[in-house]
């Protein structure tokens, strides 16, 4: 039986504002519980919300970055439900007038481009956070209550766990790139709900299952894979179940039933009368659009076209904003795109990972890095020697030329000196000459190695090879 998986995502991304959505309390992670609160975000009677203009700017920027249509006039609604971490007994959100609709994000699926449609993006406030103790108590921290977030709802265009993960990675990169969110899943500023159902080729469908509050890509991937298998077995047994909400349990590596969805939730939406309709002018939207930087996908294509980089290199260098700026800053000092790209990918990013630092925290100045690359380009030092120099100056930001001289790593390019070394090696190894004459190609490699040994690695291997071949012709 052929089966198809249908997946839609609902992603919550907290906006990178200094203050909360409807009050002036700090929007900050990690503060002591219940210290970033006020009567407004605690839902005290008589308080009035005030719209955070920067939150609207960051939200609209996200909508534009995903090619959405931006609604210019909209309202806020009250979504009423009871939960201990919902301070007011309702959540301020946007029900039927989201600020952004009909966008998309293009991903690569099975080696081909695929557009995943974004149905809508709306602004709302976050809830508080519940912590359940082993003793059976529930502790409530309201620091997060009122933090501005956007909810991004996709169409059910995804068909595998791998596609879902790829989409989320692309979405996270883009939100971080434009600065709308810090997208730190470990801090809860990016969370995901997954809607999954399986359909067979006879048209039989398993009811949609929503898996709530997944806070890592690994959890998203594993939850989808688990649901696929569970639903396929159910369909094979003639079961279609009913709509359910489930959660992912890391310990058992399975989804666990939270509640059945026999009826649609009645949130009793009403217009929030404390907030005016929001009107966005053409100028407001145009200004935000102009502030959006070149996005990773466009940058990748440009790197491949302008600099001749391959797909992999262009992708790595373009997807992180800091790395792409670093690459372009180096290019402005030395127009060698492939050489610079190669060194960033093989050396710089390896060192930043080892030292657990970002590119912006590197001690090595751009000027000294380029000075080292010029030594390589001018063949004043070998590639291997340059890597030894790099390891030192990455930590100290010393002058690479001085380090090269101090360590004796300057490459010998004096042809008279190299000829002298070559003849010494040939005189010391008559058997290798005979082997070479007998067609044993490895003999040439051995002789080159002996020249490199005599020069303490300072001879240029290509030049040594050429000179040995020329001298062998004479003997």
Give the side-chain half-sphere CA count within 13 A for 271. 8
**What's residue 182's pLDDT?**
95
- Whether residues 275 and 339 share a domain: the answer is no
- Whether residues 230 and 320 share a domain: the answer is no
pLDDT of 344 above 80: yes
Interval 384-399: pLDDT, tens? 899 999 999 999 999 9
- Whether residues 116 and 231 share a domain: the answer is yes
Residue 373 counted as domain residue: no
Range of the domain at 327: 294-343
- Whether residues 277 and 300 share a domain: the answer is no
Interval 222-256: pLDDT, tens? 999 999 999 999 998 888 788 899 999 999 999 99
Q: What is the mean pLDDT of residues 44-49?
A: 94
48 vs 201 pLDDT, higher one: 48
Residue 323 counted as domain residue: yes
Residue 127 confidence class, pLDDT cut points 50, 70, 90: very high
Residue 146 confidence class, pLDDT cut points 50, 70, 90: very high
Interval 91-116: pLDDT, tens? 999 999 999 999 999 998 888 999 99
Last residue of a domain, one of 322, 343, 364: 343
- Whether residues 220 and 332 share a domain: the answer is no
CATH code for the domain of 448: 1.10.10.410
Residue 159 counted as domain residue: yes
Is the CB of residue 427 less than 8 Å from the CB of residue 421? Answer: no
14 vs 256: CA distance, rounded Å: 26
Interval 439-456: pLDDT, tens? 777 887 888 788 778 777
Is the CB of residue 447 less than 8 Å from the CB of residue 429? Answer: yes
Please provide residue 208's backbone torsions phi and psi, each rounded to the nearest 5 degrees: -65, 135
Q: What is the mean pLDDT of residues 173-180?
A: 95
**What's residue 408's pLDDT?**
84
**What's residue 203's pLDDT?**
82
- Whether residues 121 and 251 share a domain: the answer is yes
pLDDT of 264 above 70: no
- Whether residues 261 and 314 share a domain: the answer is no
Q: What is the mean pLDDT of residues 338-359?
A: 95
Last residue of a domain, one of 282, 302, 333: 282
Residue 404 counted as domain residue: no
**What's residue 426's pLDDT?**
82
Q: What is the mean pLDDT of residues 203-222?
A: 92
Q: Which residues of 346-368 are buried (b: 16+ CB within 10 A; e: fewer)?
A: ebbbeebeeeeeebeebebeeeb
Angle between helices 321-333 and 296-307 in degrees, nearest 10: 30
- Whether residues 219 and 260 share a domain: the answer is yes
Average of per-residue pLDDT values in the chain = 92
- Whether residues 71 and 45 share a domain: the answer is yes
**What's residue 241's pLDDT?**
80
- Whether residues 128 and 149 share a domain: the answer is yes
Whose tokens are 């179940």? That residue is 241
Residue 355 counted as domain residue: no
- Whether residues 276 and 307 share a domain: the answer is no
Q: What is the mean pLDDT of residues 269-294?
A: 96
Count of domains observed in the chain: 3
Residue 362 counted as domain residue: no
Interval 32-45: pLDDT, tens? 999 999 999 999 99
254 vs 426: CA distance, rounded Å: 69
User: Which of 194-198, 399-403, 423-427 is predicted with the least confidence, judged by mean pLDDT?
Assistant: 423-427
Please provide residue 317's backbone torsions phi and psi, each rounded to the nearest 5 degrees: -75, -25
- Whether residues 210 and 132 share a domain: the answer is yes
pTM above 0.95, yes or no: no
Residue 384 counted as domain residue: no
**What's residue 380's pLDDT?**
87
Residue 261 confidence class, pLDDT cut points 50, 70, 90: confident
**What's residue 475's pLDDT?**
64
């Amino acid at each position: 039986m052929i089966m198809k998986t249908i997946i839609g995502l609902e992603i919550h991304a907290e906006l990178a504002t200094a203050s909360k959505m409807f009050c002036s309390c700090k929007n900050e992670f990690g503060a002591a519980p219940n210290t970033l609160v006020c009567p407004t975000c605690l839902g005290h009677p008589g308080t009035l919300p005030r719209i955070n203009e920067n939150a609207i700017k960051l939200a609209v920027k996200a909508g534009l970055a995903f090619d959405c249509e931006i609604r210019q006039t909209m309202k806020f609604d009250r979504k009423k439900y009871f939960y201990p971490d919902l301070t007011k007994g309702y959540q301020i959100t946007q029900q039927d007038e989201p600020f952004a609709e009909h966008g998309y994000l293009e991903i690569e699926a099975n080696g081909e481009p695929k557009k995943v449609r974004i149905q809508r993006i709306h602004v709302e406030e976050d809830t508080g956070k519940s912590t359940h103790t082993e003793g059976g108590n529930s502790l409530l921290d309201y620091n997060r209550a009122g933090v501005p977030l956007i909810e991004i709802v996709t169409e059910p265009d995804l068909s595998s766990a791998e596609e879902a993960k790829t989409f989320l990675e692309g979405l996270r990169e883009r939100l971080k790139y434009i600065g709308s969110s810090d997208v730190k899943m470990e801090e809860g500023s990016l969370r995901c709900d997954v809607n999954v159902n399986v359909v067979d080729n006879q048209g039989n469908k398993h009811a949609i299952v929503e898996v709530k509050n997944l806070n890592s890509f690994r959890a998203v991937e594993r939850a989808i894979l688990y649901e696929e298998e569970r639903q396929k077995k159910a369909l094979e047994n003639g079961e279609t179940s009913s709509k359910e909400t489930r959660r992912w349990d890391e310990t058992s590596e399975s989804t666990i039933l939270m509640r059945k969805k026999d009826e649609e939730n009645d949130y009793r939406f009403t217009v929030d009368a404390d907030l005016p309709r929001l009107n966005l002018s053409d100028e407001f939207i145009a200004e935000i659009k102009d502030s959006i930087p070149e996005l990773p996908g466009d940058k990748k294509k440009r790197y491949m076209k302008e600099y001749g980089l391959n797909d992999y290199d262009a992708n790595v260098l373009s997807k992180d904003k800091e790395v792409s700026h670093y690459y372009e800053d180096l290019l402005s000092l030395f127009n060698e795109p492939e050489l610079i790209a190669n060194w960033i990918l093989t050396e710089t990013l390896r060192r930043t990972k080892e030292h657990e630092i970002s590119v912006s925290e590197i001690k090595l100045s751009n000027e000294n890095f380029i000075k080292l690359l010029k030594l390589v380009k001018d063949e004043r030092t070998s590639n291997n020697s340059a890597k030894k120099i790099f390891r030192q100056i990455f930590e100290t930001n010393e002058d690479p030329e001085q380090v090269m001289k101090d360590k004796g790593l300057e490459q010998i390019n004096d042809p008279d000196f190299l000829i002298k070394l070559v003849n010494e090696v040939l005189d010391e190894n008559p058997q290798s000459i005979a082997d070479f004459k007998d067609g044993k190609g490895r003999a040439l490699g051995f002789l080159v190695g002996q020249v490199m040994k005599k020069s303490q690695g300072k001879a240029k291997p290509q030049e040594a090879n050429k000179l040995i071949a020329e001298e062998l012709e004479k003997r």
